[in-house]
Amino acid sequence: MKSSEAIATPAARSDVPWWWVDIGDDEARAIVAAIRDHRIQCGPICRELESRLAEELQVAHVVMMSSGSAALAAALMACGIGPGDEVIIPAASYIATAHACLLIGAKVVLVDIGPDRPVIDPAGIEAAVTDKTRAIMPVHLNGAACDMGAIGAIAKRHGLRVVEDAAQAFCSRTSDRFLGTQGDVGAFSMSIAKLVTTGEGGFAVTNDDDLADRLHKARNQGVQAVANNLFDALGFNFRLTDMLAAMGVAQLGKLEEKVDTTRRVYAFYKEALADLPTIDLLPCRIDEGELPLWPVALCRDRERVVELLAARGIQTRPVNPCLAESPQVHCAGRFENAQRFAAAGLRLPGGPDQPRENLERTAEALHDIGNSEP
């Protein structure tokens, strides 16, 4: 099965999907084995996946969750964030970053991204801190590393928690450590358009024993085990199933190849589009360990480009709108860099199993479009 079959209806399917990941026999056998062995709920296969992920990310604790969004909410809960508390997040992110805060009653405070990279501006964080601020949630958008040194220093000065949204940054790193492992808690996604997928799913990580205990309770209705019937902390049913975890274990067996292919996709576009003045591939610090999950470009007249690519059977995805545009976030205002990024950003076809010929078709089409600008 290709991911395009999971994220587009047959009528809307394109010759070149914007994301391509193979889910095949290995994953099917793993799921069947889990069912055969009556491994259905959150159990030993989830624990195996947690152990494998902890080893990969070199972190003490991994707690599987039903989604990356659930991991974000559980991370905030584990850090004691609740009603009336303020959480500082970037204006450029997926809506789940804001929704996780709103779900637990916290107030979202938006800060603009930098002019050259789609990650939160530390100077804006410092200016946004109030006596109600309890946490900073940097987002490593598309594998781009936030300045965790500066963010950590701000958090230490003001006594704040740091919850990293690393939903798009699995296996991306700085020279020091993997993204998502440098704050108090990190949250990751394993949805279909991620490097390693369980269809839906996610996990939280920490090196703090007490926070790990709180994460377990947050995903399990406030207790370590529901059979204990002592519900003394806030929690929800954020559990992943063993069936989906089995798929994740199978996917992890292909991780090295997935990482290599993702790097090659970025390298292809970087070379193929280098002389095209109408489109700029978003820079990525590959040499420092960053891993761009999706190839993202800033392009002039994005709507025209999307339309002309679609006419050739090439599917793309605009980057998400600035969070200030979502009325439920209650943060209307001007965030110039985030709004510029939202207006021009475009995800080009990619994914760890995207065929080379699809990349070549896309690059050729972009050159044709650039050469035919009105």
Helices (H), the chain: 3-7, 25-36, 44-57, 68-78, 95-103, 122-128, 148-158, 209-218, 242-252, 255-272, 302-311, 336-344, 356-371
**What's the pLDDT score for residue 224?**
78
**What's the pLDDT score for residue 228?**
66
- As a whole number of Å, the CA-based R_g of the chain is 20
CA geometry: angle at 139 spanning 97 and 315, to 5°? 80
**CA–CA separation, 114 and 191 (whole Å):** 27
Its CATH architecture, for the domain 3-22+255-371, is Alpha-Beta Complex (3.90)
104-109: Cβ within 8 A, 24+ apart: 104/73, 104/76, 104/77, 104/234, 106/76, 106/81, 106/82, 106/134, 106/135, 107/132, 107/330, 108/323, 108/329, 108/330, 108/331, 109/133, 109/331
Q: What is the mean pLDDT of each run of 10 residues along the chain (374 residues)?
A: 40 77 95 96 97 98 98 98 97 98 98 96 97 98 98 98 98 96 98 97 98 96 78 92 98 97 98 95 96 96 96 97 97 96 98 96 96 72
Q: Where are the domains of the chain?
A: 3-22+255-371, 25-252
CATH number of the 25-252 domain: 3.40.640.10
Look up residue 165 and give its amino acid: D
**What's the pLDDT score for residue 339?**
98
**CA–CA separation, 319 and 92 (whole Å):** 9
Q: In which order are the strands placed within the sheet that holds 317-318?
A: 279-281, 296-299, 345-347, 317-318
